[in-house]
């Protein structure tokens, strides 16, 4: 695997001025990551709190989008190659931050030597992932009362 595939799928949109994406550090970033999850998944989307927090959280790779000290977007990559908890605060959406986070998660998966990544996309967001080459696998299913679709992206050429 070379980085070529990431170049193909990565967006060229620059991040908004002052926004940086960096690896998240657990436990220092855990409160800020939790704040974004609470606002986006629990409060905005109505995900039950009991489903939001997971015991694997501290073991995962996280990437955070920051403006100054404030975290405005997050994504999680499990060591098995599952991307999730992709979230950008409402005021910051549509400005390339989600794409920048996905770029970083995919680069992280390549560094881990993973052959593919997968995710459970909320159906409304499938277009966002399809732009990167993710393809749907299997039927739509419900998770936290939200329609989801399993999607995969092969990171190996050929
Ligand atoms: C999905 C989400 C992370 C995207 O973040 P974002 O910062 O707005 O994304 P970007 O600005 O990088 O968007 C990149 C492109 O994808 C498109 N896009 C963004 N969200 C989309 C969606 N839900 N469906 C289809 N396309 C989408 C944008 O229109 C944009 O296209 P453009 O470059 O032609 O303008 C954000 O909308 C969000 O946090 N949503 C609530 C939580 C959520 O649903 N997470 C996904 C769980 S699977």
Q: Is the pLDDT at 8 greater than 70, yes or no?
A: no
- Residue 105 belongs to domain with CATH number: 3.40.630.30
The answer as to whether 142 is a domain residue is: no
Q: Which letter, b or e, does each residue of 13-38 get, where b requires 16 or more Cβ atoms within 10 Å of its Cβ? A: eebeeebebeebeeeebeebbbebbe
Domain extent, residue 104, equals 4-114
94 CA to centre of ligand 1 in angstroms: 6
The count of domains in the chain is: 1
- In tens, the pLDDT along 74-129 reads 999 999 999 999 999 999 999 999 999 999 999 999 999 999 999 999 999 999 99
The answer as to whether 144 is a domain residue is: no
Q: Indicate whether this model's pTM tops 0.85.
A: yes
pLDDT at 2: 42
The answer as to whether 109 is a domain residue is: yes
Binding-site residues, ligand 1, Cβ < 6 A: 13, 40, 86-88, 93-99, 121-122, 124-125, 127-128
- In tens, the pLDDT along 20-47 reads 999 999 999 999 999 999 999 999 999 9
The answer as to whether 125 is a domain residue is: no
Confidence of residue 9 (pLDDT cuts 50, 70, 90): low
Contact partners, residue 144, CB within 8 Å, separation at least 6: 45, 46, 47, 48, 51
The answer as to whether 156 is a domain residue is: no
Contact partners, residue 118, CB within 8 Å, separation at least 6: 81, 82, 83, 150, 151, 152, 153
Atom of ligand 1 nearest to the CA of 88: 39
């Amino acid at each position: 695997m070379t980085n070529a595939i990431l170049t193909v799928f990565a967006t060229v949109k620059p991040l908004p001025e002052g926004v940086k994406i960096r690896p998240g550090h657990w436990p220092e970033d855990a409160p800020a990551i939790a704040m974004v999850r609470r606002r986006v998944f629990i409060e905005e989307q109505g995900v039950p709190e009991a489903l939001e927090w997971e015991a694997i959280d501290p073991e995962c790779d996280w990437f955070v989008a920051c403006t100054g000290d404030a975290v405005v977007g997050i994504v999680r990559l499990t060591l098995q190659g599952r991307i999730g908890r992709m979230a950008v605060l409402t005021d910051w959406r549509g400005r390339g931050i989600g794409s920048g986070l996905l770029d970083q998660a995919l680069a992280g998966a390549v560094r881990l030597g993973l052959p593919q990544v997968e995710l459970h996309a909320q159906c409304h967001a499938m277009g966002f992932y399809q732009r990167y080459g993710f393809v749907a696998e299997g039927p739509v299913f419900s998770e936290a009362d939200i329609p989801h679709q399993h999607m995969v992206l092969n990171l190996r050429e050929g």
